Amino acid sequence: MKIVVIGGTGLIGSKLVNKLRKDGHEAVAASPNTGINTITGEGLADALKGASVVVDVTNSPSWEDAAVLKFFETSTRNLLTSEAAAGVGHHVALSVVGTDLLSESGYFRAKIAQEKLIKASSIPYSIVRATQFFEFLKGLADISVDGDKVHLPPVFFQPMAADDVATLVGTIAGNPPVNGIVEIGGPEEFRIDELVRRRLASLKDPREVIADPNARYSGAKLSEKTLVPGNSARLGETRFETWLTQPAGQIPGAPPQPAGVSAVTKDKEGQKKAS
Ligand SMILES: NC(=O)c1ccc[n+]([C@@H]2O[C@H](COP(=O)([O-])OP(=O)(O)OC[C@H]3O[C@@H](n4cnc5c(N)ncnc54)[C@H](OP(=O)(O)O)[C@@H]3O)[C@@H](O)[C@H]2O)c1
């Protein structure tokens, strides 16, 4: 199938394009960097010609309230209009677990608007709501900083590796539309403050993480389970401690892990192997 990945040069998009190609699909990486822009419409009609599926894994360059809302509304509207004209049969979009409960946040008001446009459109769709990526734990600290301390609410979440996000989104894109929401998450539950503290320690980032029940997540108040997916969520396999030993978990530019520091994982046949 021809599958166009909008945002195909980003963290999830680039992994997804590789996985779709390995699965034998014709995957097109679409983004301003490849001459395709969902805000201006540049290159969009050409890219969608003959496409069966479009996967939207874009993100807004600005997370300021008005800018992010304008980005997701304009981008999604343009995309859905172009997909209707091209006869695309499946629109897949990446959203976030708990999005509908997070309307106090400008970023999540934009994701709510994106989801609404998709549901109201004529294109069959699958909205994939993922939990926070391990790769985003430092970013989570960055957006939760007050002075030199990171304030996070000690509530639960179930984060996942970007590789697993790409694998699960790829599987959903290769199957018929569900015309609804699919949740995906990681294999383990943590308290946010605890895991961000561990991630900063692994990066030798000296910022102190404070468990603060009044702290907000991207501007929104959380309850204990807002960010935890439901029981029917599809789960990635990668555990946090395993991910830390992989290149994505290392300090950028740091030398490879010394021999002897390894995690035990399972290969495709289920055999235990050191990684
Ligand atoms: N971070 C998390 O923990 C998390 C959790 C769940 C869901 N999500 C969702 O995951 C999605 C993808 O996140 P990500 O971290 O992979 O994003 P990312 O690495 O920031 O990549 C964003 C992509 O969007 C593209 N883009 C920006 N403006 C565009 C435009 N006008 N037209 C077409 N493409 C455009 C970028 O292209 P260029 O490279 O050309 O700029 C890039 O390929 C987001 O929608 C986010 O809400 C994130």
For ligand 1, mutation pick of 6, 31, 91 (most atoms within 8 Å of CB): 31
117 ligand 1 Cβ < 6 A:
no
Give residue 255's pLDDT: 55
CA-114 nearest atom, ligand 1: 45
10 lines ligand 1 (CB under 6 A): yes
**Three-state DSSP state, 32:** helix
269 pLDDT above the threshold of 50: no
For residue 209, the cross-strand partners are 150
Q: Is the pLDDT of residue 262 over 50?
A: no
CA distance 253 to 258: 15
Distances (CA, A) of 1 to 27, 164, 175, 275: 8, 21, 11, 33
Q: What is the pLDDT of residue 252?
A: 79
Indicate whether 274 pLDDT > 60. Answer: no
Q: 187: burial class by Cβ within 10 Å (0-12, 13-18, 19+)?
A: middle
* pLDDT at residue 131, rounded to an integer: 98
DSSP states of 78-121: HHHHHHHHHT--EEEEEEETTGGG-TTSHHHHHHHHHHHHHHHS
Is the beta carbon of 133 within 6 A of some atom in ligand 1? Answer: yes
Q: Are 10 and 61 in contact (CB under 8 A)?
A: no
Confidence of residue 251 (pLDDT cuts 50, 70, 90): confident
Ligand 1 atom with the smallest distance to the CA of 71 is 31
Query: For ligand 1, is residue 13 a contact (CB within 6 Å)?
Result: yes
Atom of ligand 1 nearest to the CA of 56: 45
Could you tell which of 42, 57, 114 is best to mutate to test the pocket of ligand 1, judged by most ligand atoms within 8 Å of the CB?
57
pLDDT, tens digit (0-9, with 9 covering 90-100), for 7-18: 999 999 999 999
Amino acid code (one letter) for 103: S
b (16+ CB within 10 A) / e for 216-238? bbbbbbbeeebbbbeeebbbbeb
Q: Is it the case that residue 261 has pLDDT exceeding 70?
A: no
For residue 9, give the ligand 1 atom closest to its CA.
43
pLDDT digits (tens, 9 = 90+) for 202-228: 999 999 999 999 999 999 999 999 999
| Cα of 270 from ligand 1 centre, angstroms | 33
Which pLDDT score is estimated for 267?
33
Q: Which of 6, 12, 58 to mutate to test the pocket of ligand 1 (most atoms within 8 A of CB)?
A: 58
Q: Is residue 158 in contact with ligand 1, taking CB distance under 6 Å?
A: no
The pLDDT of residue 271 is above 60: no
Residue 254's pLDDT is what? 66
Give CA torsion, residues 216, 218, 221, 225, to 10 deg. -100
The full DSSP string for 161-172 is -HHHHHHHHHHH
- 203 φ, ψ to 5°? -90, 0
Q: Using a 6 Å cutoff on CB, does residue 105 contact ligand 1?
A: no
> Cβ(160) to ligand 1 under 6 A?
no
**pLDDT greater than 90 at residue 50:** yes
At residue 273, φ and ψ (nearest 5 deg) are -145, 155
Q: Is the pLDDT of residue 104 over 80?
A: yes
Q: Per-residue pLDDT averaged across 240-246, rounded?
A: 96
pLDDT above 50 for 230: yes
Angle formed at CA 9 by CA 219 and CA 254, multiple of 5 degrees: 80
pLDDT tens-digit readout, 128-182:
999 999 999 999 999 999 999 999 999 999 999 999 999 999 999 999 999 999 9
Smallest CA-to-CA distance from 133 within 13, 220, 216, 222 is with 13
Task: Share the mean pLDDT of the chain.
Answer: 92
DSSP E strand stretches across the chain: 2-6, 26-30, 53-56, 90-96, 125-130, 145-146, 149-152, 156-157, 180-185, 190-191, 208-211, 234-235, 264-266, 272-274
143 close to ligand 1 (CB < 6 Angstrom): no
Q: Which residue has the higher pLDDT, 261 or 72?
A: 72
Backbone φ, ψ for residue 258 (5° rounding): -65, 155
What mean pLDDT comes out for the span 91-110? 98
What are the phi and psi torsion angles at 39 (to 5°)?
-85, -45
3-state secondary structure of 70: helix
Q: Picking from 115-129, 149-163, 253-267, which range would have the lowest pLDDT averaged per residue?
A: 253-267
Nearest CA to ligand 1 atom 15: 11
Cα dihedral 156/110/130/201 (nearest 10): -50
Instruction: Name the residue at shortest CA distance from atom 3 of ligand 1.
Output: 132
**pLDDT score, position 203:** 96
Q: 187 and 143 in contact (C-beta within 8 Å)?
A: no
Residue 86 pLDDT more than 50? yes
Least confident range from 160-174, 182-196, 244-258: namely: 244-258
Residue 161 Cβ < 6 Å to ligand 1:
no
